Chain A
Amino acid sequence: MDALDQRLLDEFQRDFGLTPRPYADIGARLGLDEAEVIDRLRRLTGAGAIRRIGPVFRPNRVGASTLAALAVPPDRLEEIAAVVGGYAEVNHNYAREHHLNLWFVVTAPDAGRVGEVLEEIARSTGLTPLDLPLERDFHVDLGFRLWN
Chain B
Amino acid sequence: MELNETDRRLIGALRRGLPLVEHPYAALGAELGLDEGAVIARLQRFMERGLISRFGVVVDHAALGFDGNAMVVWDIPDADVEGVGRMFAGLSWVSLCYRRPRRLPHWRYNLFTMIHARQRAFVEDRVGVMTVLADSVVQASAILHTTRRFKQTAACYGTAPAAAGEA
List residues of chain A with CB under 8 Å of any chain B CB: 8-9, 12-16, 18-24, 34, 38, 41-42, 45, 47-58, 61-63, 65, 67, 69, 81-82, 84-85, 88-98, 100, 103-105, 107-109, 130-144, 146
Contact = CB atoms under 8 A, between A and B. Distances in A.
Contacts of B50: 58, 61
Contact of A95 (B56, B57, B88, B148): B148
B89 to A, nearest CB: 3
Interface of B: 1, 3, 8, 11, 14-18, 20-26, 36, 40, 43-44, 46-47, 49-61, 63-64, 66, 70-71, 82, 85-86, 88-90, 92, 94-101, 103, 106-107, 112, 114, 116, 142-159
A61 B59 contact: no
Contact of A18 (B47, B51, B112, B149): B47
Contacts of B154: 51-52, 54, 91
Dominant secondary structure of chain B at its interface with chain A: mixed
Given A16-B55, A45-B20, A133 B145 contact: no
A20 B160 CA distance: 24
A134 B100 CA distance: 5
Dominant secondary structure of chain A at its interface with chain B: mixed
B99 A141 contact: no
Contact of A91 (B14, B20, B88, B152): B152
Given A18-B43, A57-B52, A132 B100 contact: yes
